Structure 1
């Protein structure tokens, strides 16, 4: 054997799953020896000889031969020879350390599959079968846990893999109970699971035990049927499912999605718990339907990723502040979407609207309101057969079997169970908590404690009484360390178990809280946990007694998450996952007086970079209130206000941004030149968006002067970019030429790509562009961008390349550039870029004599421009200029009146007015000024008329 082969063998992993081999070495007995040692640990030589060579005349000699073969083949195979111990990694041992979906990839087949065990002892064969089942069950358990957190389609696929996993023993009743709700209704898997479950029913007539219940849901058939009937109606609609915490609203919503998924409907589950604003829900919806892509600019844009006849579950809307406005907005923007809302309150639908019958509102929306109470309980006189049919009892029994596998309804306990579930009013979470008590006491004692707890309660109805009766007892059953862990976890919004461990909460306490049903995995497809919202009252009750503990926990939580947040890029997807914890940490640090202003700017960049400006504005408005309440240091006050006004303008709330900026500039915080510079720039951007370009340029000059004085090269580059853009739009080319040398020197600083793009555009807008020079610079910049992965910059430079090609009479090369842009933006929404690309393509098509196609592109571009809702939208004017010469041949007076209106617009771009001057005809008629939206609508109609 060569040295290369020996080295490869030494690095090999002992493969026992799906076969047996060590690199190219396949001698069975030596490898079986290694497999046993890998899973059982160091083993005496005599023990191995008895297991593997029971019929040999000299088993010790056979063992020596095997050990020699291993040493000869792999120097690292044996760590010691008496007891025998191996130093090699083994795939089976590694599999047992894996969790989540990773286990399936690490499981190519059953343990020692197809390996000939002839000549080994019966005890060894039994050991192999035991290990085979142990490893397969580990894979099944991890996949099943993952499936129970997944959305319906993925959950069904994982359930199928669990059920059919090679090497797994026949499924036990508990596994069948968990698998059935994950299968899609009517599927082949559901049929097989039900058939398997029937085999566990007691065949003896009059048997006392209860057959295994494998129904998907317990006691919600009427509500589920009502939701399914509502979902089949044409058009959009809204269904509100409300009820006390832990009553089963989310379970009902998820089951609805599973049923609809089986019928081929497009369904989406959005975890809405903790969301304060509609904009935050929009970003969560986008993260589910289009992960990794920029958030849509509005609800109408979100409709593009929802599929056909979609149904969207917004699960847990209790914190939302603007629900009526949200319902109005989604109804207007997405009229064909069916929305299912769940929450503890009644969710804003008209009073009196309740029950399983859909209603049509005045707006024409199909509405349904369901108020959930406890599960149906048996009457006091019920006998055992009737008790076991009760949904409330069935739920208690299901949860009890997680603790006592043989637990069942019988004549001896039927009355106890019946009375117990009635005292708890059939509340599902209360039943689950009460079942967990069986870990420490018998059923009789559980019943007595519930009686005693319930006797002290008054005026607690609609299922809340049941939860209140057991919550305190469940708290009392926790050990002191587990109680402390629960209180410490209450400072989290939700958490990754690894973060809880990092903050000193032991894994044993986490597992205990899960066993006692205090924690839930609430996001499909995620391992993140949180305290059941319905149990947060325990924290409010016991928190004051442990005030020092909670204060310490908040401090540790804030230090951990703020340090973590500050070390991450603000647009890192992980930041969005932890946004709830980051915001809690910022509030804690604010109240403690330890927050650094830089973290607020970092948070602003998070919302800005992920196109979540609307949500960011709402968040910072609340933060600014808190900053004022705690009388934070001036630099923190300034950072909060500047971030708020910046995000407001990015969200299109121009009046809000203008008001905040104007008030700031007249206050004492503006005495700091750095603060003043930032706010001047923000106000300049606002004025530019409002069409007040000359004021914007003046404000930018002032901000740039401060950046020069303070030697802030990054902001110099940014403000100079804005100033060059404004001056070019105004046609102030002399000042532009004066500033170009300074801009060239600043290219290595700040957002050099943005400045480089602006310089290209400025040259294109000059009275006499040097197109050859522009092409050369654009290609250089494009090669730089290729290495950064900056899609938006790439799109901009490709656009300018296309404009330069058109300028030198190469329209076909222009079309190549526009096609590249279109290919790159199939999965992204950049309205401005899309409009400009369509207009550039139209100009190229006109130049190639393809007028019908050019008209279609102009028409499409103007339609998209209308979505921007800008009172002085330059894109609409650009569309007019591009098609003006064409349309003047058919509608000369109309087009000329629009051109004259453009010429008289003081805020229009200089280049547009220059082109308009060349197109206008003298007219003695008085100019009739039209609303810009009306002009756009008329242009669309004219282009359509010519097309048909």
Structure 2
């Protein structure tokens, strides 16, 4: 590859002008020979001859470097060209330095020098743009670090006001970076909005509220605060700024977008998903959430307006995570049965209330408006007026700060009660008329708003005025876009809305950017209800938009894989599309199973169960075809069991199997498998085996070899647990013969585990088979299968009395850093066994201790039993009676596998004795204490 970043070289070849020819052609495309000769040898008597000499040197190095025909071209890869195709943080990683940095350009034309400089800045600008887009999607700390890298990127042109403002919005309050950015903005003249307000967000005039909440969030112990207020008043912006300030002070902060969520379970699921590392399973249960949040965390639950019982959720949150500071936003306050009292008022705008033990409630009003007697200077300092001036500039009509303009702006702000979104709508009218006309219209709008609820009244009145001012085609476009949850601009064409129309609607302030660092847009939530009122009056147009929306997203979804990250952005739209298709009777069961597969692959089981449950209710309400109703119910119950909500999954599966929907073999087969999985997790292996036998039989009836292969493999696992090795021996050849009908790698790995648990495993043959499967897993980059197979290879080596090889397998597995608790726990206990076999008891105890700790986090009885059996002989030397009691308890516990029971019996000195039940958690905690004492 031609290296042009941080120098210029092609392998060991370093001659500048031949490589400049190659770089120019690689980046600019084919170029005439004469043109290249004039650019690079402007002072030569025979520039064409100089070019031929340079080309000869390149071809000696690599005949493929340049094609000799005129114009010259190349297919040689170039790092600068490759950089332009890199996105996100990959672009930063690929940027090894400025273009042609340190290269001596003596003897070339001025045009080449300008081209080098322009290309250097173009490449750096591409990196800055990609990194900035990533930074705007990150939490405050990492975002600020990337912002500093963007500012100081070598080779970049000096940052202009636009870039400086974006970087300022990412800097941490009080940091050196913020001070530098403000100083550089000041040097440009009109650096910041009038009055020196921060350019990021709509936080003009919220200093008192921000100070109150930032101070509250830093207090010791847990607590809750609720920011309420009308739509468009700035609740979310205030909450996000609190997080940014607290993060700058070193506190852990989390932002959860709760808009559209209906239940507390969905909110908790989204919180867990937000805390999970990429590719890792979300935390389950309060202890796991507490562990990931750490101490003194501040969590913003943003937009709880759709929640059925927010007060109950808040009560659960404070009880489950009492050390967390919860910050919630909603249009209405979350009130309890207590008597509320005024705590204090902030500048007459925000009302703050709190009763003992209740959350702090901050109700936002409009921004401070200048009084009628205010002088022009006082008007300019007013937050509401500053906001209007800023939005006027965005509308392309900056207003000079004359006394006449100041008086009109003051009148507009008072008529609209300082409501931020209403002011933005009114400012957008400046695109087509003068300030006096805008003032007149706001007077007319204010006449329709009452004094009791001025904020929503003024917004609704201005929204009505703004709607009336839209052209008919703009109104039709808004009615079509109302059916989206949010959208990528490229998808607006599905309902007949062009990019040019989107620009017009953005200018009218009806649309807004949905996510920082993203191109996604949405209809402003505060204006959605007003648009929906007009939409209801045109049912045919809305029905067509819904059908177009559903067709577009469901067609797109068919081409996606279950694990596709792109689906995450469109889940809300996909659920809306599925609901539309359900009402129309056009939804296929495949869509519901695909949604289930996506939630499952992403580890979003709780939220997926809630979403599929709502679709199941909708399918029943609209009397959807039986296969659609069955698919929705089966998908819901499957995700419930994956979320370990076993009682819920068992109830739904049992009810389904006794309903008419279960008469179809395919539907009955899936429900049987789900119920079998539930019983397995409950430790009821015999019931799980019987249900799985029925599922295998149903797969035969349906003629589904892939599911028969998977279910047969599951059945073998149950039988191994029960110790029914005679039936295992009869069924194992059938399962091995069916590997090609299912996911071969997954089924092959499971069959290897089954054979490892036979009374006399064929270790040598298994190792050869496992090595072959490992090669396949490496080729397909299947990290989970690689980890499984390494574990099984370690077990086989240990069975062959090769503990050093077993230890090597476990260390490769643990070094991979997978967050799969099952594999991690098993690897630690296998490592411990290998270390005991090598006579390294202290190291074996450390590994066992780690295994017990992950087993406790996993809450797995079977893994805790495995750990106890691993350390039993060692700990019997210091606690013989206690270990004997534990082993006796294992022998009598039906949840333990037959192999575990037999191993416990072999370790007992005098046979099982009558004892109490085996309590897994207490046993594991005791093992950890004893291992620590050794």
TM-score normalized with structure 2 length: 0.83
Match of 2:636 among 625, 640, 644: 644
Structure 2 CA distance for aligned equivalents of residues 797 and 7 of structure 1: 49
Match of 2:278 among 291, 298, 316: 291
Q: How has the CA–CA distance of structure 1 residues 635 and 390 changed in structure 2, closer, same or farther, with 3 Å as cutoff?
A: same
Q: How has the CA–CA distance of structure 1 residues 146 and 754 changed in structure 2, closer, same or farther, with 3 Å as cutoff?
A: closer
Q: How has the CA–CA distance of structure 1 residues 419 and 126 changed in structure 2, closer, same or farther, with 3 Å as cutoff?
A: farther
Residue equivalent to 2:230: 244
Deviation for aligned residue 1:892: 2.4
Q: How has the CA–CA distance of structure 1 residues 211 and 226 changed in structure 2, closer, same or farther, with 3 Å as cutoff?
A: closer
Contact 1:680 1:703 in 2 (8 A): yes
Match of 1:766 among 748, 758, 765: 758
1:107-126 map, 5 Å: none
Per-residue CA deviations over 1:507-559 (Å, capped at 9, x if unaligned) read 11101111111122222332211111111012221102222221111111111
Residue equivalent to 2:514: 522
Deviation for aligned residue 1:573: 0.7
Deviation for aligned residue 1:230: 2.3
Structure 2 CA distance for aligned equivalents of residues 641 and 405 of structure 1: 56
Contact 1:838 1:857 in 2 (8 A): yes
Residue equivalent to 1:875: 863
Q: How has the CA–CA distance of structure 1 residues 29 and 516 changed in structure 2, closer, same or farther, with 3 Å as cutoff?
A: farther
Residue equivalent to 1:618: 610
Residue equivalent to 1:68: none
Deviation for aligned residue 1:630: 0.4
Contact 1:10 1:75 in 2 (8 A): no
1:544-555 map, 5 Å: 544-555=536-547
Structure 2 CA distance for aligned equivalents of residues 369 and 511 of structure 1: 38
Deviation for aligned residue 1:914: 0.7
Deviation for aligned residue 1:236: 4.6
1:528-927 map, 5 Å: 528-824=520-816, 826=817, 828-869=818-859, 873-922=861-910, 926-927=914-915
Q: Specify the SS of the correspondent of 2:539.
A: helix
Contact 1:241 1:372 in 2 (8 A): yes
Contact 1:771 1:808 in 2 (8 A): yes
Mark the runs of 5 or more structure 1 residues left unpaired by the alignment: 34-71, 79-90, 203-208
| Paired residues, number | 886
Residue equivalent to 2:468: 476
Contact 2:494 2:548 in 1 (8 A): no
Residue equivalent to 1:253: 239
Per-residue CA deviations over 1:488-521 (Å, capped at 9, x if unaligned) read 1111111111111354311111011111111222
Structure 2 CA distance for aligned equivalents of residues 924 and 429 of structure 1: 75
Matched, 1:314 2:272: no
1:91-490 map, 5 Å: 151-153=139-141, 156=144, 171=160, 180-195=168-183, 217-277=203-263, 278-279=265-266, 282-283=269-270, 286=273, 290-298=277-285, 300-301=287-288, 310-321=297-308, 323=310, 327=314, 331=318, 337-347=324-334, 352=340, 368-404=360-396, 406-458=398-450, 461=453, 463-490=455-482
Residue equivalent to 1:46: none
Contact 1:15 1:21 in 2 (8 A): no
Per-residue CA deviations over 1:19-72 (Å, capped at 9, x if unaligned) read x99699887986999xxxxxxxxxxxxxxxxxxxxxxxxxxxxxxxxxxxxxx9
1:80-99 map, 5 Å: none
Q: How has the CA–CA distance of structure 1 residues 285 and 742 changed in structure 2, closer, same or farther, with 3 Å as cutoff?
A: closer
RMSD of the alignment, in Å?
4.8
Q: Specify the SS of the correspondent of 1:594.
A: coil
Q: Specify the SS of the correspondent of 2:225.
A: strand
Q: How has the CA–CA distance of structure 1 residues 119 and 802 changed in structure 2, closer, same or farther, with 3 Å as cutoff?
A: closer
Q: How has the CA–CA distance of structure 1 residues 387 and 714 changed in structure 2, closer, same or farther, with 3 Å as cutoff?
A: same
Structure 2 CA distance for aligned equivalents of residues 640 and 21 of structure 1: 57
Deviation for aligned residue 1:710: 3.3
Contact 1:802 1:840 in 2 (8 A): yes
Structure 1 CA distance for aligned equivalents of residues 719 and 108 of structure 2: 89
Deviation for aligned residue 1:817: 1.3
Matched, 1:938 2:926: yes
Mark the runs of 5 or more structure 2 residues left unpaired by the alignment: 1-16, 43-65, 73-78, 346-351
Residue equivalent to 1:58: none
Residue equivalent to 1:38: none
Structure 2 CA distance for aligned equivalents of residues 134 and 686 of structure 1: 57
Contact 1:271 1:523 in 2 (8 A): no
Deviation for aligned residue 1:438: 0.9
Structure 1 CA distance for aligned equivalents of residues 632 and 132 of structure 2: 45
Per-residue CA deviations over 1:424-480 (Å, capped at 9, x if unaligned) read 111111111111111122222212211111212236526223312211112222222
Contact 1:425 1:466 in 2 (8 A): yes
Q: How has the CA–CA distance of structure 1 residues 218 and 350 changed in structure 2, closer, same or farther, with 3 Å as cutoff?
A: farther
TM-score normalized with structure 1 length: 0.82
Per-residue CA deviations over 1:544-598 (Å, capped at 9, x if unaligned) read 2222221111111111111111121111111112111110110000000001111
Deviation for aligned residue 1:127: 15
Q: How has the CA–CA distance of structure 1 residues 782 and 430 changed in structure 2, closer, same or farther, with 3 Å as cutoff?
A: same
Per-residue CA deviations over 1:747-787 (Å, capped at 9, x if unaligned) read 11113223222222222222222322322222222222222
Structure 1 CA distance for aligned equivalents of residues 258 and 841 of structure 2: 49
Contact 1:730 1:910 in 2 (8 A): yes
Deviation for aligned residue 1:723: 0.8
Structure 1 CA distance for aligned equivalents of residues 770 and 121 of structure 2: 63
Structure 1 CA distance for aligned equivalents of residues 619 and 277 of structure 2: 35
Q: How has the CA–CA distance of structure 1 residues 406 and 360 changed in structure 2, closer, same or farther, with 3 Å as cutoff?
A: closer
Per-residue CA deviations over 1:88-114 (Å, capped at 9, x if unaligned) read xxx99999999999999999689xx99
Q: How has the CA–CA distance of structure 1 residues 766 and 175 changed in structure 2, closer, same or farther, with 3 Å as cutoff?
A: closer
Contact 1:700 1:722 in 2 (8 A): yes
Q: Specify the SS of the correspondent of 1:239.
A: strand
Q: How has the CA–CA distance of structure 1 residues 738 and 501 changed in structure 2, closer, same or farther, with 3 Å as cutoff?
A: same
Structure 1 CA distance for aligned equivalents of residues 465 and 763 of structure 2: 80
Q: Specify the SS of the correspondent of 2:896.
A: coil
Q: How has the CA–CA distance of structure 1 residues 666 and 806 changed in structure 2, closer, same or farther, with 3 Å as cutoff?
A: same
